[in-house]
Amino acid sequence: MAKDAAKMEKIVALCKRRGFIFQSSEIYGGINGFWDYGPLGVELKRNIKDAWWHDMVQHPPIGPDGREISMVGVDCSIIMNPKVWVASGHATGFADPMVDCTESKKRYRADKAWVVGFYSPRDIEKKVEWATRFKQIQNELSIADPRTVKVSDEQLDAIQTKIDEFKKEWQAEAHTIQPSVIYGLEADNRDEAIHTARSLLTKRQKQELAGQYVDAAYDQMNVPNGWPRVSPATQKATLTEPRSFNLMFESHAGAIKDEDNKVYLRPETAQGIFANFKNVCDSTRVKIPFGIAQIGKAFRNEINPRNYTFRSREFEQMEIEFFCHDKDSMKWWEWWRDTRINWYKSLGLAGENLKPRNQDDKELAHYSKACTDIEYYFPFADDPQELEGVAHRGCFDLTQHQQHSGKDMSYFDDETKERFLPTVIEPSAGADRSTLAFITEAYTVDESRPSPELMKFHPRLAPIKAAVFPLVNKDGLPEIAEPLFREIRKRWPAQYDGKQSIGKRYARMDEAGTPYCFTIDGQTKEDGTVTVRDRDTGKQERIDKSRVVAYLDDKLHPSAR
CA distance 230 to 101: 9
- Comparing CA positions, the residue from 12, 17, 39 lying closest to residue 463 is 39
- Using DSSP, state whether 208 is helix, strand or coil: helix
Q: How many CB atoms lie within 10 A of CB 127?
A: 14
470, burial (CB in 10 Å: exposed 0-12, middle 13-18, buried 19+): buried
d(CA 4, CA 340): 27
Phi, psi of 284 (to 5 degrees): -130, 180
Q: How far apart are CA 534 and CA 520, in angstroms?
A: 15
Give per-residue burial for 6-18: e unless 16+ CB within 10 Å, then b. eebeebbebbeeb
Type of residue found at 243: R
What superfamily does domain 40-94+250-440 belong to in CATH? Bira Bifunctional Protein; Domain 2 (3.30.930.10)
390 bridge partner residues: 372, 427
Q: Which CATH architecture has domain 447-560?
A: 3-Layer(aba) Sandwich (3.40)
What pLDDT shows up at residue 561? Answer: 39
Predicted pLDDT of residue 259 = 86
For residue 92, the model assigns a pLDDT of 78
Q: In terms of pTM, does the model score above 0.75?
A: yes
CA distance linking residue 257 with residue 255, whole number of Å: 7
Burial of 307 (0-12, 13-18, 19+ CB in 10 A): middle
Provide the residue ranges of all domains of the chain, joining segments of one domain with +.
Answer: 40-94+250-440, 107-243, 447-560
H or E element at residue 131: helix 121-143
Per-residue model confidence as pLDDT tens digits over 243-288: 888 888 999 998 888 888 999 999 999 999 999 999 999 999 899 9
Distance of alpha carbon 424 from alpha carbon 419, whole angstroms: 16
In the chain the first and final C-alpha atoms are separated, in Å, by 36
pLDDT at 1: 43
Which stretches of the chain score pLDDT less than 50? 1-2, 146-147, 559-561
Residue 387 in contact with residue 432, Cβ under 8 Å? no
